[in-house]
Chain A
């Protein structure tokens, strides 16, 4: 008995003193291994009479249990220490830079076109498109600008030397309005479309580029009037700029394809050198800024587009996309839009996840 007790104490001391898993394993073999003294002692129990066994067993069993427990505990402690040591060796300098993933961006013109599509979809407008290389019938004649019309000269048109099969002149569309004609010819009435896209004028200075973007709007139905036009533009601008204090001023103007024709101004103020849309243009510190042209579609245009002006009427408008993008997002140089400078694109561009939605507000804030 005392033998086992002292042996156990010695073994537990050795276990406690073990400094490596190897030493611990050696101690395990010496005790609980096949030929370890605990195992051997357990085997002796088999040869004993029941009485002897009853007397001897508890001491042996208890030795086995306490040694096994000590081995496990020591093993866990040693492993944990080894792991800690290993982890300490594996330490890296996390102030070092991680590999950077390039960040892409969506061009402001595309972003604003998506915003337009989103807002106007809610008002029931589809997005229509048409060719940029147009014939003069769609670009001018059908819009009530015949060959001798002085307004043609105001358009600074880019021409191609080519002619269509019917001998019509071919040009780069000077506005998105030919899409009106194509849409009415294709779909008839009633119709509600916007037509965003590239347009071209032979004009280049600080505020004009020979290529720019316009959006055309067209509503044809039976009883559409100027009041609907005003509401539509107001509603659009309120949604686009996400502010309720948008005030529009309509001024009489002239476009061959509308009658009556109105120029649309919006009230703005200047804050920190930038134009901020909102407020009444005649209010102190405010002024009016032209946004675009519009009007009731000229009866002749309806006829050209195959609609009976006695039955159908409606409005059309045209806005500069680059311009409203600049107003909303603060760019000041139109030419930079078309330069492809990654610094500008990163600065003014949008995250691909800024998909305009009505629920989140169509605009993406800086």
Chain B
């Protein structure tokens, strides 16, 4: 909401400076978003009297003027304007002044050899209008030497953000009232115009939907002359950011901006029959003043006559009955609409307007007659015409809210002591009535006041929030107690473990292009897809953390990054019960580009492989406290992974803790990324929580005797998984075998076709006594037998 200082002073008697007013506005909750002082732009421009005008000796189109700018000493100025002549008064820009239109700094200069001490200005140069075919001509009584800014009455314009709970401040008068309550001056009573009404209103007015339109008041004015508004009115509207249209329209806007009260003016010639506030019929159309046609439905209010809709009630008038230059007779409308219905209609139509903004937040139900009279008075005064009596259909809400207020609440809730008398003064200055027993009656325009807390806010914001002193929260005795949940601790720990293992944490969008989300969706998974995405690239909620990281890795590669080692901890979005979401905490990793660059030691650059992914998966699962030793490496990592170079890590056959591997070439293609790329996804919700662990570890009991190791090399069918062989060997003698480690895998020369050689180092831990040769032999035989069950054959 923008308004000029002059406009404010129409309603507020004040000597406060602009700075004081702005401070006060901020303090009471009308946030100042900007102050524009046209006087600043016009600094250095003065009213000057042209004393003489003569042809420039060297240029046909230029004149050499002598002007009096009030300094007593006439100045010589070169001027190209055809209307410059001796005796006229105009505006002189002195050296040092900046021309508002182009930012040019004026200087004393020589134009074609003749000294010039400034510039006589056009309205366009001063951004006051579009005239540029001559310099500004001021009336003869314009005071020479005065600052043109002062003379022109250009005055500072303040823009405030009015919060949606304060429609009463969507008019300058309301702002003046708040400022007066703050002590910035005295609120002037509204000056009601004097005019005499002649005869009953010739138009029938009705409201057929008292719920949507409880009150509809009207009045006819005949014999008006429409046309451009007078300059002062145009200036007012422009200061408020409104474009002047025509006198009649401008006057409704003037009422709206001045008092927050929208009204509408119909061309009476375009109406026929009764003018009715009613629900629209489904499918009914109206061409609105913005030249767009809207199709309405029965939930919307309209103003219509026998022929059809003339107005989307409370939002925008219709083109058909809008006033024109030629309009002579008008019907004025002032109505009260149900705020909720206006809001719903506006949202449905996607139609915003100044009227809607005010109606949907709630206009003053007590201001219909007054508003109509103010508008009538302005019309009669400026456009002439004869007004009829008012015709009223329905009545606006009139039940004032009464709140039983305990002034002590101001201290208890607001944290500041305000004497009761001051609380009473504040409330009364805002229009509340305070009874002797602190029954507070609210003005009807304050739709936002619902209970005692609202009154505390009124008192505190006017008294000053700066007077609220800080008070420490009570704290529990001693050191603060830990508050993090196991899940939070898990995520915090994993984040730092992942970063410590060389990964950069990324945060990527929760939403993906639909194709990318679908590519990673599980079989039969119904994605969450936005109805109103900001773009097609941000449409479907991610079912995996990998697509976002893949896209980041691709961007990085496109930027020439040799490698991306990215991880993210975030949620995957699934369907839960009862139509709600199920959001699963997840850690995703993407390893793209060069694992190691080419090097003098390492040779060629090496890409990431599935074992890099596996190492990270296990490292992080271990950091997360998962029982890593018990995990099974199984398949089914998903179709986005290389089928032969990916796996899942499971706790039992069903609980998948992680998937990892090399990304499928088809996935790389879909994401337009170069491979190989390795990836990991840890499903944090599947990791079992540590149960009731104590601080104390179990006692440390290292075995008394040293372990021994024995190596075995087995020839196994190529299809046998090393992990299965290890598990078989591990299980060969549970008492003594404490470790089995693969140290060589070989196929090729010396190994029969379809086979491979796997060499394992078996650690044997003796118990009470050292192993005897026979015992070692027996264990070895068990190991060989276990391997034999998998088709393994001990190599010689």
Measured CB to CB, the residues of A under 8 A from B are 96-97, 99, 101-107, 109-110, 114, 117, 121-127, 131-133, 135, 148, 150-151, 153-154, 158-166, 170, 172, 192, 198, 200, 202-204, 210-211, 219, 223-232, 234-235, 249-254, 256, 259-263, 296, 298-300, 313, 337-343, 345-346, 349-353, 355
* B461 and A104 contacting across the interface, CB-CB below 8 Å: no
**Segment of B41-49, B161-169, B389-397, B721-729 in the binding face:** B161-169
Please tell me which one of the listed residues B507, B508, B509, B579 contacts residue A163 in the complex, with CB atoms under 8 A apart: B579
Q: Which of the listed residues B339, B451, B466, B496 has the most CB atoms from chain A within 10 Å of its own CB? A: B496
User: Does B596 sit within 8 A of A, measured CB to CB?
Assistant: yes
Find the residue from B413, B448, B461, B473 having the highest chain A CB count within 10 A. B473
Instruction: Across the interface, name the chain B residue whose C-beta is closest to A345.
Output: B504
B contacts with A: majority SS: mixed
- What residue in chain A is nearest B448 (Cβ atoms)? A254
Chain B residue at minimum C-beta to C-beta distance from A297: B453
Q: Contact: B532 with A202, CB < 8 Å?
A: yes
Instruction: Name the CB-closest residue of A to B164.
Output: A150
Please name the residue on chain A nearest to B453 by beta carbon: A259
Give A161 to B731 CA distance when docked, in angstroms: 55
The one of A104, A122, A296 that contacts B480, using a Cβ cutoff of 8 Å: A122
CB pair A226 B507 closer than 8 Å: no
Give chain B residues whose Cβ lies under 8 Å from the Cβ of A339.
Answer: 552, 555
> Does B466 contact A131, Cβ atoms closer than 8 Å?
no
Q: What is the CB-to-nearest-CB distance from A126 to chain B, in angstroms, rounded to a whole number?
A: 4
Does residue B366 face the partner (Cβ distance < 8 Å to A)?
no
| A313 and B163 alpha carbons, distance in the complex (Å) | 24
Q: Does B747 contact A (CB under 8 A)?
A: no
The answer to whether residues A170 and B579 also contact, given A106-B505, A124-B473, A231-B471 and a CB cut-off of 8 A, is yes
Other 9 A-B pairs with CB < 8 A, given A148-B339, A227-B416: A117-B483, A164-B578, A225-B412, A229-B415, A252-B28, A252-B460, A337-B507, A345-B504, A352-B498
Top 10 nearest A-B pairs (CB, nearest first) are: A340-B552, A252-B29, A227-B415, A254-B163, A260-B457, A102-B502, A133-B581, A252-B461, A225-B415, A227-B471
Q: Which of A110, A163, A166, A192 contacts B505 (CB 8 A)?
A: A110
B481 near A124 (CB under 8 angstroms)?
yes
Q: Determine which residue in A148, A200, A223, A260 has the highest number of CB atoms from chain B within 10 A of its CB, and name it.
A: A260
On chain A, the residues within 8 Å of B343 by CB distance are 148, 150, 153
Nearest-Cβ distance from residue B178 to partner chain A, whole angstroms = 10
Given A132-B571, A198-B510, A202-B534, the answer on whether A104 and B473 have CB atoms closer than 8 Å is no
Interface of A is mostly: mixed
Residues of chain B contacted by A170 (CB below 8 angstroms): 579-581
Can you list 9 A-B pairs, Cβ within 8 angstroms, ordered by A? A99-B596, A124-B481, A164-B580, A227-B471, A228-B472, A249-B466, A296-B413, A340-B548, A352-B498
Interface string of B571-608 (1 = CB under 8 A from A): 10100011111010000000000001001111000000
| Chain A residue, CB-CB nearest to B460 | A260
- Known: A99-B599, A161-B531, A345-B504. Contact between A104 and B565, CB under 8 A? yes
Q: Is B663 an interface residue (CB 8 A)?
A: no
With A107-B507, A121-B483, A123-B480 as contacts: A341 and B555 at CB distance below 8 Å: yes
B691 at the interface (CB under 8 A from A): no
* Nearest-CB residue, chain A, relative to B362: A150
For residue B360, CB closer than 8 A to chain A, the reply is yes
Which residue of the partner chain, among B28, B453, B475, B500, contacts A352 with CB atoms under 8 Å? B500
Q: How far is the CA of A148 from the CA of B28 in the complex (A)?
A: 26
CA distance A109 to B529 in the complex (A): 26
B561 within 8 A of A: yes
Q: Is the CB of B561 within 8 A of A251?
A: no
| Nearest B residue (CB) for A221 | B474
Segment among B139-147, B203-211, B289-297, B484-492 that sits at the interface with chain A:
B484-492
A126 and B475 in contact (CB under 8 A), knowing A204-B534, A254-B29, A349-B504?
no
- Name the residue on A nearest B530 (C-beta): A158
- Complex: A262 Cα to B500 Cα, angstroms: 42
B489-519, CB < 8 A from A: 492, 495-511
The residue in chain B whose Cβ has the minimal distance to the Cβ of A210 is B534
**B529, A230: Cβ atoms closer than 8 Å:** no
Report Cα–Cα, A229/B469, bound state, in Å: 10
B459, closest chain A residue (CB)? A260
Find out whether the CB atom of B507 lies under 8 angstroms from the CB atom of A154.
Answer: no
Residue in A251, A259, A355 whose CB lies within 8 Å of B27? A251
Measured between beta carbons, the chain B residues less than 8 angstroms from A352 are 495-500
Interface residues on B, range: 35 or more
| Nearest opposing residue in chain B for A200, CB measure | B510
Chain B residues packing against A (C-beta within 8 Å): 26-29, 31, 163-166, 339-340, 343-344, 347, 360-361, 411-416, 448, 450-451, 453-454, 456-457, 460-461, 465-466, 468-473, 475-476, 480-485, 488, 492, 495-511, 528-534, 538, 541, 548-549, 551-553, 555-556, 559, 561, 563-566, 569-571, 573, 577-581, 583, 596, 599-602
**B412 and A345 form a contact (CB under 8 A):** no
Q: Which residues of B contact A104 (CB under 8 A)?
A: 498-505, 565
A222 vs chain B, min Cβ distance (A): 10
Contact residue among B31, B340, B501 (Cβ-Cβ distance under 8 Å from A251): B31
Q: Taking the nearest CB of chain A, how far is it from the CB of B782, in angstroms?
A: 42
Instruction: Check if A250 sits within 8 Å of B581, measured CB to CB.
Output: no
> Measured between alpha carbons, how far is A203 from B532 in the docked complex, in Å?
12
Query: Which partner residue on chain B sits nearest A117 by CB separation?
Result: B484
B471 CB contact (under 8 Å) in A96, A127, A225, A343: A225
Taking a contact as CB atoms under 8 Å apart, the answer to whether A263 and B541 are in contact is no
A223 to B411, CA, bound (A): 10
With both beta carbons as reference points, the residue of chain B lying nearest to A104 in the complex is identified as B499
How far is the CB of B205 from the nearest CB of chain A, in Å? 27
Q: Identify the interface centre among B472, B476, B596: most chain A CB within 10 Å of its CB.
A: B472
Closest to B485 in A: A127
Question: Do B26 and A251 touch (CB < 8 A)?
Answer: yes
| B506 A107 Cβ-Cβ under 8 A | yes
In angstroms, how far is the closest chain B Cβ from the Cβ of A233?
9
How far, in angstroms, from A346 to B564 measured CA to CA in the complex? 11
Which residue of chain A has its CB nearest to the CB of B27? A251
Q: Which chain A residues border B570 with CB–CB below 8 Å?
A: 198
Cβ contact within 8 Å between B578 and A165: yes
**Known contacts A96-B600, A105-B499, A202-B532; is A250 also within 8 Å of B468 by CB?**
yes
Is the pair B468, A230 in contact by a Cβ cutoff of 8 Å?
A: yes
Q: Are A102 and B480 in contact (CB under 8 A)?
A: no
Q: A110-B505, A262-B465, A345-B504 are in contact. Are A252 and B457 (CB under 8 A)?
A: yes
- Chain B min CB distance to A244 (Å): 13
Rounded to whole Å, the gap between the CB of A357 and the closest CB of chain B is 12
Query: Inside 8 A of B470's CB, which chain A residues have their CB?
Result: 227, 230-231, 234
Shortest distance between the CB of A182 and any CB in chain B (Å): 12
Bound-state Cα–Cα, A117 to B491, Å: 13
Residues of B within 8 A of A127 (CB): 483-485, 488
Q: Which residues of B contact A260 (CB under 8 A)?
A: 413-414, 453, 456-457, 460-461
Asked if B451 and A349 make an inter-chain contact with CB atoms under 8 angstroms apart, the answer reads no
Contact B530 A172 (CB under 8 A): yes
Contacts of B529 in A (CB 8 A): 160-161
Cα separation A105 to B506 with both chains bound (whole Å)? 9
The chain B residue sitting closest to A350, CB to CB, is B499
B330 to chain A, nearest CB (A): 31
Q: Is B601 in contact with A148, judged by CB distance below 8 angstroms?
A: no
Cα A350 to Cα B496 in complex, Å, equals 10
A230 CB → nearest B CB, Å: 5
B413 touches A313 (CB 8 A): yes
Q: Provide the bound-state CA to CA distance between A52 and B600, in Å.
A: 73
Q: Which of B468, B563, B580, B596 contacts A226 (CB 8 A)?
A: B468
Residues of B within 8 A of A226 (CB): 413-416, 460, 465, 468
**For residue A265, which residue of chain B has the nearest CB?**
B26
Does the CB pair A135–B580 fall under 8 Å?
Answer: yes
Taken together as a complex, chains A and B put the C-alpha atoms of A235 and B213 apart, in Å, by: 51
Q: Which residue of B lies closest to A337 (CB)?
A: B507
Is A211 within 8 A of B506, CB to CB? no
